[in-house]
Amino acid sequence: MNRRTFMNSTVVALASSLVHKVLPADPYATGSAFAPGASVSPELNGYKRQWWKEAVFYEIYTRSFQDSNGDGIGDLRGIAQRLDYLKSLGVDVLWISPHYDSPNADNGYDIRDYRKVMAEFGSMADFDHLLAETKKRGLKMIIDLVVNHTSDEHEWFQQSRKGNGNPYHDYYIWRPGKENGVPNNWPSYFGGSAWQQDGPDGEYYLHIFAKKQPDLNWDNPKVRAEVFEIMRFWLNKGIDGFRMDVIPFISKDPRLPDMTPDQVAHFDTVYGAGPHTHDYIQEMYRETLAHHDVVTVGEAAGVTNAQVPLFIDERRGELNMIFQFDAVRIGRRQWRQHAWKLTDLKAIWNAAASNPDRHLWNTFFLGNHDHPRLLNKFGDASPEHREASAKLLATLLLTQKGTPFLYQGDEIGMTNHPFSAIGQFQDVEVKGTYTDQVLTGKVSAEEYLSMLKLTSRDNSRTPMQWSSEPQAGFTTSASPWLPVNPNHKEINATNQAARSDSILNYYRSLIQFRRVNPALVYGDYRDLDPNNASIFCYQRAMDRKGFLIVLNMSSTTVRYLLPDSVAPGELMICNSERPINDGPLLSLSPWEARIYMGGLRN
């Protein structure tokens, strides 16, 4: 099926109100010149073609995806059981959350042994089986690389804490206290000081995150050599890349100066601006990554727009992409959520997407395991508007400029869990901040809980809702590690797969639509109405061909006059069930999304 045939059949499907096509068994076997591996120009619109630019990534939070052995915890065998579902969704690359041996103080982001698999997740044989089955289906897999810190149960740290005479002592950052107190005023992400006293010398070790996550000393070349060997171990197994946890934090100012009050309020920018970060990442690239066709994406909290090119300019030999959090954290300050405006959100995206430098490449995402459900943050999770807003957010995710990253469950419209008590949360961040804020009397328990319902990471970590069965088909255990959302009887993958107009099938159609339309990958981006408080109207265009996307990001009907600079062509996709008018004066129902062919005036 060529691109034009696909588009025409899509328009026909609109007669029944919504684009939904049955995907071919192999979505790449469409005859499209845009299919990966096709004999085409190595560049499009001035960008070097790369498989990871054209791919759609899907994050799997292993603990919550699928339990295969009935212990209430998701595992690697469980992921393997669901690979056909992921293939049918149309995604290309799976990102697996940390699977390494860990005591789970921070759900696997505290690693005890980088060459072993977490017992709850299975064995190394299970990992090898998952990787082989993934590749058998034509999918790729990347894993988390967590090397800013380890677990305090890692053998390196067990040796390090024995004191100055131990050869591993300098693997971590130890300092004596000052004036009977901590070495400096640096805060932990999880509340309180970033320092903990330990060992026979009475020194303090640095932990930007939990006390059980001591920071590695990257200024020690032995540490860097150890990390590179760990990377080679997994690369030699055949993984397709790494998502690098808090990678800008690996370098610290060796003076460890106190932060100013303003720096304390924005401490992530201090942690993300170490003096040797780029030296160490370039060394990592030379020693490991340059020898493999893999992708790297760095978690980059604290990195400003001006600093982005230093990480991802393809001429520098560092990372391919990074995650910035200005958009997903809009209105957020630590555990509090404040009101935000669409105009501010559009400005954040525009700053990245309108950069003309063809040596840079963005990511685009609206949620992950560290943020609440995207539907609650950016859409409307009410029964009246949940499905429409979920489809609109899918449209946004798959038509913005940059490689899209989806998070498990968003493709079926999963929502925040209705937590009602502090004791229901498992997140180490919740527990640490509760101690720091509530037990000290700074805020009331009621105020803290009201914010957690909006901001807690546990909202996105509840088990995947596969069916209306008990425990949503996630596990046979009566006590999963986190409670299943009660709305799984209405919101689940089985129900969605059976409905042609479901959120799941809308995602499938959009992923396929993006795959056969290069303008949605490499096309230029232009926000046509940046000051509109409820309508998001933008173009993706290449060689004066492309698409006009119009989104009503509100829960009210809006009459919208298209800008004079655009003339919409054929309506390709719409999530509305009512008759469609083609403008220039549009009547957009709540959370209505439209994609038009063209949009450019001559």
- Residues with a known catalytic role: 245, 299
Nearest to 321 by CA among 287, 278, 364: 364
Nearest to 415, CA basis, from 345, 519, 486, 500:
486
**Which pair of tokens denotes residue 94?**
């799976």
Residues 6+ apart with CB under 8 A from 265: none
Residue bearing tokens 């009331």: 444
Task: Determine phi and psi for 559, rounding to 5 degrees.
Answer: -90, 120
Return the number of other C-beta atoms located less than 10 Å from residue 290's C-beta: 11
Q: CA separation (Å) from 474 to 87, 455, 481?
A: 19, 24, 11
Supply angle C-alpha 154, 156, 158, rounded to 5. 70
Is the CB of residue 438 less than 8 Å from the CB of residue 445?
A: yes
Looking at the DSSP assignment, which residues form a beta bridge with residue 195? 206
Q: In terms of Cα–Cα distance, which of 50, 23, 33, 49 is closest to 512?
A: 23
Contact of 322 with 299, CB cutoff 8 Å: yes
431: which DSSP letter?
H
Neighbours of 542 (CB within 10 A): 19
Record the tokens describing residue 227, joined without a space.
């990390």
Instruction: Say if residue 140 is exposed, middle or buried (CB neighbours under 10 Å; 0-12, 13-18, 19+).
Output: buried
> What six digits make up the tokens of 411?
């493709």
Query: 321 with 403: CB under 8 angstroms?
Result: yes
Whole-number Å distance between alpha carbons of 78 and 68: 5
Burial pattern 256-266, b for ≥16 Cβ within 10 A else e, equals eeebeeebeee
What does the DSSP 8-state code read for residue 92? -
Who contacts 67 (Cβ-Cβ below 8 Å, separation ≥6)? Answer: 73, 74, 75, 78, 474, 475, 476, 477, 480
Two tokens, residue 378: 């950016």
